[in-house]
């Protein structure tokens, strides 16, 4: 039998058609999100926020901000995966559990806080890059968490970020990076599209 992770990588598709009759309960959404947060982030910053849009009213608002894309409403839930501009002020909360678990020396909290400050402090480009990296990795893990639960996903960049930020009350340091529709696929979706040959994309030095 094929390794299940490899099978998921090879079978996942960007789903366009969802069964709008099927819903996900809040506990299920929480479990998918818990798995997504096992993705790595720089310095364990965890500079993301997942907004799970599941009520018809909220979906309608999100669909309008996503140029009317039907899957926003047809999927059981559509996540707004947000990246946050990194701040050293979160390091205590993010790293203290590692110290308490006994494997991270306590002084590393200050050391990593200083590293975060010097890496991102006065560099808006680096801050934005890190927010995008974090949310993208979170969304990727969310896709495969959904696959593991037998669910389909559809990522979207087709949305107005300013409208999403306004409608869903994002903070000034939050960027809506990607929308991810999650739910049950209905008939008629395409298979995964063939990729470029590896020789076009891989350089081994």
Ligand X SMILES: Cc1cc2nc3c(=O)[nH]c(=O)nc-3n(C[C@H](O)[C@H](O)[C@H](O)COP(=O)(O)O)c2cc1C
Q: 16 or 98: whose CB is closer to ligand X?
A: 16
The separation between the first and the last C-alpha atoms of the chain, rounded to the nearest angstrom, is 33
7, 148, 158, 171: which one contacts ligand X (CB under 6 A)? Answer: 158
Choices 31-39, 73-81, 127-135, 150-158 (CB under 6 A): range interacting with ligand X: 150-158
**Tokens, residue 190:** 């395409």
Which residues face 80 on adjacent strands? 51, 179
Which residues face 83 on adjacent strands? 48, 175
156 interacts with ligand X by CB under 6 A? yes
- 16 HSE (CA, 13 A, CB side): 7
176 interacts with ligand X by CB under 6 A? no
Choices 8-16, 42-50, 93-101, 160-168 (CB under 6 A): range interacting with ligand X: 8-16
14, 20, 87, 119: which one contacts ligand X (CB under 6 A)? Answer: 14
68 interacts with ligand X by CB under 6 A? no
Q: 1 or 198: whose CB is closer to ligand X?
A: 198
What is the secondary structure of 88-133 as a DSSP string?
Answer: GGGHHHHHHHHHHTTSS-THHHHHHHHHHHHHHTT-HHHHHHHHHH
Shortest Cβ 23–ligand X spacing (Å): 22
Q: 102 or 150: whose CB is closer to ligand X?
A: 150
d(C-alpha 70, C-alpha 63), whole Å: 7
13 interacts with ligand X by CB under 6 A? yes
183 interacts with ligand X by CB under 6 A? no
Binding map of ligand X across residues 102-141, x = CB under 6 A, - = no contact? ----------------------------------------
Query: Of all residues in the chain, what percent are helix, strand and coil, respectively (each to 5)?
Result: 50, 15, 35
SS3 24: coil
Judging by DSSP bridges, how do beta strands 152-156 and 48-53 pair with one another? unpaired
Q: What is the CA radius of gyration of the chain?
A: 19
Shortest Cβ 15–ligand X spacing (Å): 8
193 interacts with ligand X by CB under 6 A? yes
Tracing tokens 């696959």 back to the chain, one arrives at 147
Tell me the site size for ligand X, rule CB under 6 A.
11
For binding to ligand X (CB under 6 A), which residues are involved?
13-14, 16, 69, 155-158, 178, 192-193
């Amino acid at each position: 039998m094929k390794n299940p992770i490899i099978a998921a990588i090879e079978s996942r598709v960007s789903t366009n058609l969802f069964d709008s009759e099927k819903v996900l309960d809040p506990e299920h959404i929480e479990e998918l999100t818990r798995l997504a947060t096992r993705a790595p982030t720089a310095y364990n910053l965890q500079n993301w926020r997942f907004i799970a849009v599941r009520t018809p009213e909220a979906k309608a608002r999100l669909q309008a901000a996503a140029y009317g894309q039907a899957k926003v409403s047809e999927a059981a839930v559509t996540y707004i995966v947000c990246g946050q501009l990194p701040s050293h002020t979160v390091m205590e909360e993010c790293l203290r559990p590692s110290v308490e678990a006994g494997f991270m020396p306590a002084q590393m909290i200050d050391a990593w806080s200083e590293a975060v400050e010097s890496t991102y402090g006065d560099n808006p480009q680096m801050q934005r890059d890190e927010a995008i990296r974090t949310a993208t990795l979170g969304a990727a893990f969310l896709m495969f968490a959904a696959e593991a639960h037998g669910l389909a996903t559809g990522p979207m960049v087709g949305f107005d970020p300013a409208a999403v930020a306004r409608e869903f009350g994002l903070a000034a340091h939050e960027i809506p990076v990607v929308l991810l529709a999650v739910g049950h696929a209905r008939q008629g979706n395409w298979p995964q599209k063939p990729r470029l040959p590896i020789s076009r994309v891989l350089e081994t030095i």
